[in-house]
Amino acid sequence: MKKILLTAAAVIAIPVLAVAQTSAGSAMADSSAASGASKLNAQDRTFIHKAAIAGLAEVADGKLAETQGNAAVKQIGMRMVTDHTNADTQLTTLSSQLGDPAPATTDTTHQQMNASLQKLSGSSFDTKYLHEQLLAHEQAITLFKTEASDGSNQQLKAFASSTLPTLEMHLSMIKSALKSTNT
């Protein structure tokens, strides 16, 4: 009888211990994410915020360029959608791991810029899109260079460094398209 009671107690205790360990593991993961966020300085947090919003805006504007632009602008738009979607996915994953999740939507300024692009067509669209992309990529390159050199988090610095060549290639494509359209 003692054996049966001890066996029954053990059978009941194992799931309880498993739940307790799972809860403790979750608490440790939550604590780890929170401590990851506390290890980010203001620059790192600003970088995550600005880079995420800019990337989301690039994707939205790129999709618009795919449908409204001339052949060269459509090609640039497709490239923006592909490359910025990949970078956004990486940044979203990394920022969540660091406990400071990236924004999931663009800000009002970028939404208004996209809305104004939607109203245009033909060469007016191409010109405005390319000029906005030129400015956006110059700003993004500055943002990513600053994080790569001065950021406090090594993972964010590595992400910024590895993304820079793509942003610089985008800027080159945009400048080339602007020259060929004489705008």
Beta-carbon count within 10 A of 89 CB: 11
Identify the CATH number of the domain in which residue 165 sits. Answer: 1.20.1260.10
The answer on 119 and 31 residing in a single domain is: no
The answer on 132 and 49 residing in a single domain is: yes
Domain that holds residue 4: 1-38
Six-digit token pair at 92? 């979203």
The answer on 144 and 83 residing in a single domain is: yes
Q: What is the DSSP string of 119-143?
A: T--HHHHHHHHHHHHHHHHHHHHHH
Q: What does the pLDDT look like over 71-105, one tens digit per residue?
A: 999 999 999 999 999 999 999 999 999 999 999 99
The answer on 177 and 139 residing in a single domain is: yes
- The greatest distance separating any two alpha carbons of the chain, rounded to the nearest whole angstrom, comes to 93
Reported pTM: 0.79
Total number of domains constituting the chain: 2
Q: What does the pLDDT look like over 4-24, one tens digit per residue?
A: 544 444 444 444 444 444 444
Mean pLDDT of 59-70: 97
User: Of 14-18, 42-46, 53-57, where does mean pLDDT reach its minimum?
Assistant: 14-18
The answer on 97 and 24 residing in a single domain is: no
